[in-house]
Amino acid sequence: MAGNSLELMQGTLDVLILKSLSWGPLHGYAVAEVVRERSGEELKVEEGALYPALHRLEKRGLLEAEWGLSENNRRAKFYRLTSAGRAHLRAETQAWQRYVAAVSRVLEAA
């Protein structure tokens, strides 16, 4: 099942989690699925790393958690972006884009 998915780079998991929650509250399982689908099955979230990351973001006040009912009527813990989390996502996204652009410029300079 590992397939040929790309390994996640250090530090990008947090941004991906924040981004996937920017469309609305999700539980942990759904976060993993969303990241996989949106990346065209290219990125695969390491489930062992996902939950500690979620909890750390919650501790930092970037996420809020609440127990709710899942699509199949099970109790599940839903995460939601806080306004601090939204600001953090914006800043991280910009930084990432500048980083990618700079690396690309170097790599594509023939």
Binding interface with another protein (CB under 8 A): 1, 27-29, 46-48, 51-52, 55-56, 58-59, 70, 74-77
Nearer to another protein, 56 or 90 (CB): 56
As measured in angstroms, the least distance from the Cβ of 68 to another protein is 11
Nearer to another protein, 24 or 52 (CB): 52
Nearer to another protein, 55 or 86 (CB): 55
* Structure tokens, 24: 């609305």
Question: Helix, strand or coil for residue 65?
Answer: strand
As measured in angstroms, the least distance from the Cβ of 56 to another protein is 6
As measured in angstroms, the least distance from the Cβ of 46 to another protein is 7
Where do we find the tokens 């009912």? 69
Nearer to another protein, 69 or 95 (CB): 69
CA angle 48, 53, 59 (to 5 degrees): 140
Asked whether the beta carbons of 90 and 22 are under 8 A apart, the reply is no
As measured in angstroms, the least distance from the Cβ of 15 to another protein is 19
* 2: Cα separation from own chain's centroid: 19
Q: Which of 31, 26, 36 is nearest to 1 (CA)?
A: 36
